[in-house]
Structure 1
Amino acid sequence: MSTLTSPTATEASPPAGATLQAPPAPDTPLDAWQALALARTGDQLAQAWLGVLCHALLRARAGLVLMAQPDGAFAPVAAVPPGKELGHLAEVATEALRQRAGVLRHNAAGEALLAYPLSQADSLSGVIVLDLGPADAADAERARQLTHWGAGWLLDLMRQLDQARIHAGARQARVLLDTVLALQNEPGLREAGIALVHAVGREFGCHQVQLALAEGRTLRRQAVSHAAVSDDRSQQAALALQAMHEAFDQEQRLLWPEPPPAEGEVAVRITAGHARYAHEAGAKALCSLPLVAGHQAVGVLLLERDTPFSTGEAELLDALGPAVGPLLVLQREAGQGAVARLGRSLRSALGAATDGSRPALKLGLAVAAVVLLLLAVVPVPYHVSASALVEGAQQRAAVAPFEGYVREAPARAGDAVKTGQLLARLEDKDLLLEKTRWESELDVAQRKEREAMARGNRVDQRLAAAQANQARAQLDLATSKLERVAITAPFDGIVVKGDLSQQLGSPVEQGKVLFEIAPMNAWRVILKVDERDIADVRPGAGGSLVLASLPGQSWPFTVKKITPVSVPEEGRNQFRVEAELAGAAPKLSPNMEGVGKIDAGSASLLWAWTHPLLDWLRLAWWKLLP
């Protein structure tokens, strides 16, 4: 079906190839005046009114009513005869809309086409188009007058329908608001149920209203209006529950007596329980309304009265069910204990996991569960990671043999040295002078000893001999120091610490470490293992080392020693673990850092990833226990 867009002052013709075709005719046509009286919607009213105009008042061959749509276009809402192709009316309709005035045209065969705009409040509401067929001037003028008269009547009838629809919406909003406020003001579920059945009974003129709430897939009566005591074990109560179960199981509103199906509707509703209850209770009209919360029926209202429920009342009840259901659920949950709430949550989660909703999400969760199970069951090699430092297998210190001053220092950290190579030399001027002094003292003492011996003076001889021994000892000490002024490398290796090139002439104390030298072909790895993982490390365990400077290579090692003393570093206690590189030592340098992984058996990946947290939780729990 094509539409005619609202024209502007500059438009001269309708869209090319525009086609106007009315909706198909109803299966059972009614008399035009009777259809007008029974019209309940704008489209029904327009169709009935056009039938009266074309058949009862005029003898038009065809007619069409176009009404404005929310998007600004004009679409057919009624046509006579229904279902006929009416594209030839498009041009005259467009002209009437453009001019906002009636348009009458005659073709070469003397056939008349009449278009009359529907306008109100300076706005176009639509247009009426008639195909009058062969018509003289008098017939055309009569058709124009009747159309002008009928247009005002049609607009007034549509305005009345709009007002009735507004009043119905206002009543529906009032009923919903009053009912919701009445439920919210009640302290518990029982009081809310009683307030609900009485409010619904007053609003719809019912002599009895019953409320049943769902417990799983069964219903349990909660409240009955106009009854001081309710016997749930009576035959009538059982039949009422059966009737409400029909609406609960079918998840739709049920009316008894069942109204005839609407046009084109194929109704399949089971109301046998309603019939049995109506016969037992003597009710003339029943309505079972499911109360819905979250797309699920949580209860049913059963209304009884003496007159059938109208279409408007049924629509109001359909709006009441979703509004009341969540409030009753909240009232019931507020009165439940913690155990009941937990059970409800578990049932809800189980139901959401087993129903057919969100298949993609459930498939993803199932795959995640399988992956998690594999991570928890399948064992993989487990390693303890620790920061690593490379040191020489043995490290020798070159110290100052005595107090003195630095004369020269050709070696510095990083230099490769050979056995006996000079590292540094101390100043020896004072030692040479001291050696000369003690040599003189020795000569004097020896001469005195010889003179005393010649005189036979034993006392002077022994005194001179003692002075000679003292001078000889001091001379030996000075000679020894002179031999050690040159500090040399004890073996082939590399200087890992020490640089005196900027301290020439500075004093050094005896025993001060001047250089540290490590061999170049023997290394050891120092691993700093966290105290939480030290229990998994055993002497003799293997492992792999990766250095920060060589991240693409790894070297195997073997744990040799675990120091039983922890050292605090970076806020944690760490144990020093010594390991030896296996096989040929790679080309390394002292103090290289990296990461070492120590073999600690096998475990699941899930345990390996989560055991630090689990251990922390166990310790925290143990601390909290009294």
Structure 2
Amino acid sequence: MTDSTGSKLSAFASQWLAQGCGNVDGDVHFGVVLLSVSADGALAPAAVWPASANPNPVVMEAVEKAVSERAVQERHHEVVVAGAAQLRCVLAFPLMIDGHVHGAAAIDIEPGQVQSLDAVRRSFAWHLHALEAMVRRAMGTSSDRLNTVLNLVATGLHHKRFQTAATAVMTELAAILKCERVSIGFVQNGHAKLVALSHSAGFGEKANLIRGIGTCMDEAIDQQATVVYPPIDKRAMQVTRYHAELLRSSGEGAVCSIPFATGEAIIGAITFEQPARAYFDSETLRLCEYATLLLGPLLDVRRKDDRSLFSKALDSARVTIQQLIGPHHTGLKLAVTSIVFLVLFFTFMTGEYRVTADATLEGAVQRAIAVPISGFVAEANIRAGDVVKEGDVLFTLDDRDLRLERLKWVGQRSQHRREYSEALAARERARVNILNAQIEQADAQVALVEEQLLRTQVIAPFDGFVVSGDLSQSLGAPLERGEVVFELAPLDDYRIVLEVDERDIGFVALQQPGELALTGVPGRSLPIRVDRITPIAAAAEGRNFFEVEASLQDASLPTSLRPGMQGVGKVLVGERKLAWIWTHKIIEWWRMFIWSWWP
């Protein structure tokens, strides 16, 4: 609470106490009002009635009791006057504002009737509201203003555009602090540039005034301190030349410029101008500083957000360049230097470009094992993944029907031979010829059945690996002649099928070398060579690719190789720039995308 505010409050308390003591039903001998007017919150007498009266100890004890207990105190005591005892009563009232004690009021009364004390208490308590309102107003001068300044933050955030928000905040700030004019500027190219002025959406016709306010802001920014003219402290050593010139040209009462910063850099200032015959006191100046510290950085954020993307990019580039050229920021400089070195390295250095594709190992020749005759599966001990030797039985068909068929034809042949002998003995030439033909037919049928019996056991034609097929779960199942049940591949002759993406097929040519890495043979790469390029594309899993066949060039192949193994193959194309190797796919995709959308 300032000295001027305390003086006004003491004068009001004196008038209030005189009026209150005069309106009480009874003889009031003493009255006192104590208020908290110091920074430490201690209570001190603000008014005494009558003015020449001395404090009564009983009254002061009641006041202390009321303040400590925060309740109305009533104390009766006797006073001897002219040899006669008088009964008096002390009523002490605490002055409560927002749950805190900010003062007290007490009277020493000789009531006309004892039963009228309740009426006196109610009357004085009602009268106390006027004093409470005055104290609340005096105390709330600074806090209410500060709360209003905080509300300005909401005003600054309410408007979408920076210029509108800054003008509204400056206008409201001028109204709150009762200033003639409030303006804000930001540092650009080493000088403060005014961006918003209170009560004015544009200030194109006020060039001299704008220039004068800008020089005042520069004066405060250069000194990195609040500059007030006329100065509050006459002993302060500050340069106020431009502030004095602005005051003379505008005819205002006082001017104050307060810089604000973000981090360690001052980014702008706010200038406050008081009307004629009005000056800044310490409390108002403190409120101006609070408002500047709160609103300056906030409006700076709004100003930066309101810029175009191009302006933001330019400012970001400018700040980065300043950090690179100026002192400090060692980490940033090292990072940029490393990036530049890497860019130059990848731009001028070359490396081997290899086309990468998914690879599958297959046998150079795959032999289909088909069912030689129709029949039922009797035995099947081989399945996919087994290694077989030449002559191993793959599966056996049930031969019981064939054996019965052979016995049938053998019996018929024996019967025909006996009849042939009888006809020959009887010299029946025609019958001999017929029986001879029947014997030959029986011989042919027996030979056919015996050949079919030999085919009931299907054997491996060469050493190899069973690529597909499994009859172990189909014992007794019928098989038709010509049905493929197994596929065999040799163990010593392979081919590699590469699925080359259509974007890379143009780099692949016959006889190009490469390398193959199989998942089943980790830690070893096998040399390969391109032998054939399929001219027809295939589609799978959402992409198009061409099948490229290659052969293994290593004489000593691992024994663990098996058809069906998968891995990754890389075909050596030639020397290319490292930057091209890493970026050509993205660039080509982008070119195709642009071309497809280009009208």
State TM-score, norm by structure 2. 0.60
Deviations 1:62-109 (A, max 9, x none): xxxxxxxxxxxxxxxxxxxxxxxxxxxxxxxxxxxxxxxxxxxxxxxx
Name the amino acid aligned to 1:432.
R
Name the amino acid aligned to 2:403.
K
| Residue of structure 2 aligned with 1:274, choices 228, 235, 243 | 243
- 2:513 aligned residue: 542
- 1:74 aligned residue: none
- Is 1:557 matched with 2:531? no
Partner of 1:551, secondary structure, is coil
Unpaired runs of at least 5, structure 1? 1-38, 46-119, 123-158
Name the amino acid aligned to 1:369.
I
Inter-CA distance 253–166: structure 2 relative to 1 (3 Å threshold): same
Q: Conserved in 1, the CA contact under 8 Å of 2:499 and 2:547? A: yes
Separation (CA, whole Å) in 2 of partners of 1:542 and 1:438: 68
| Residue of structure 2 aligned with 1:525, choices 480, 489, 496 | 496
Backbone CA RMSD of aligned residues: 5.2
Matches within 5 A, 1:319-468: 319-326=290-297, 328-329=299-300, 340-356=307-323, 359=329, 362=332, 365-366=335-336, 369-370=339-340, 373=343, 377=347, 378-406=349-377, 416-426=387-397, 427=399, 428-430=402-404, 432-433=406-407, 436=410
- 1:241 aligned residue: 214
Separation (CA, whole Å) in 1 of partners of 2:395 and 2:372: 12
- 2:460 aligned residue: 489
- Is 1:599 matched with 2:571? yes
State TM-score, norm by structure 1. 0.57
Deviations 1:176-217 (A, max 9, x none): 146556666778666656655555555555455555555554
Q: Conserved in 1, the CA contact under 8 Å of 2:355 and 2:570? A: yes
| Residue of structure 2 aligned with 1:312, choices 256, 273, 283 | 283
Separation (CA, whole Å) in 1 of partners of 2:155 and 2:149: 10
- 1:300 aligned residue: 270
Separation (CA, whole Å) in 1 of partners of 2:247 and 2:173: 19
Separation (CA, whole Å) in 2 of partners of 1:498 and 1:229: 89
Q: Conserved in 2, the CA contact under 8 Å of 1:499 and 1:515? A: yes
- 2:83 aligned residue: none
- 1:138 aligned residue: none
Deviations 1:286-322 (A, max 9, x none): 2123365776534532525545522222221111113
Q: Conserved in 2, the CA contact under 8 Å of 1:529 and 1:575? A: yes
Cα offset, 1:544, TM superposition? 2.5
Separation (CA, whole Å) in 2 of partners of 1:183 and 1:418: 89
Inter-CA distance 582–187: structure 2 relative to 1 (3 Å threshold): closer
Cα offset, 1:611, TM superposition? 6.4
Separation (CA, whole Å) in 2 of partners of 1:187 and 1:545: 62
Q: Conserved in 1, the CA contact under 8 Å of 2:539 and 2:545? A: yes
Separation (CA, whole Å) in 1 of partners of 2:379 and 2:161: 98
Q: Conserved in 2, the CA contact under 8 Å of 1:438 and 1:472? A: no
Separation (CA, whole Å) in 2 of partners of 1:299 and 1:448: 141
Separation (CA, whole Å) in 2 of partners of 1:233 and 1:372: 54
Inter-CA distance 380–215: structure 2 relative to 1 (3 Å threshold): same
Partner of 2:243, secondary structure, is helix
Q: Conserved in 2, the CA contact under 8 Å of 1:247 and 1:300? A: no
Separation (CA, whole Å) in 1 of partners of 2:303 and 2:38: 41
Separation (CA, whole Å) in 2 of partners of 1:481 and 1:183: 101
Name the amino acid aligned to 1:301.
T
| Residue of structure 2 aligned with 1:588, choices 545, 556, 560 | 560
- 2:149 aligned residue: 176
Inter-CA distance 235–496: structure 2 relative to 1 (3 Å threshold): closer
| Residue of structure 1 aligned with 2:254, choices 285, 289, 292 | 285
Identity %: 29
Name the amino acid aligned to 1:373.
V
Partner of 2:316, secondary structure, is helix
Inter-CA distance 300–388: structure 2 relative to 1 (3 Å threshold): same
Separation (CA, whole Å) in 1 of partners of 2:474 and 2:181: 110
Unpaired runs of at least 5, structure 2? 1-36, 43-66, 70-101, 104-134
Cα offset, 1:587, TM superposition? 0.9
Partner of 2:524, secondary structure, is strand
Name the amino acid aligned to 2:495.
R
Deviations 1:526-571 (A, max 9, x none): 3344555545444333333333333122222222223344555556
Partner of 2:283, secondary structure, is helix
Q: Conserved in 1, the CA contact under 8 Å of 2:185 and 2:270? A: yes
Q: Conserved in 2, the CA contact under 8 Å of 1:560 and 1:580? A: yes
Cα offset, 1:170, TM superposition? 0.5
Pairs aligned (count): 465
Q: Conserved in 2, the CA contact under 8 Å of 1:409 and 1:424? A: yes
Matches within 5 A, 1:143-292: 167=140, 169-177=142-150, 179-180=152-153, 199-204=172-177, 206-212=179-185, 217-221=190-194, 232=205, 235=208, 237-258=210-231, 260=233, 269-281=238-250, 285-290=254-259
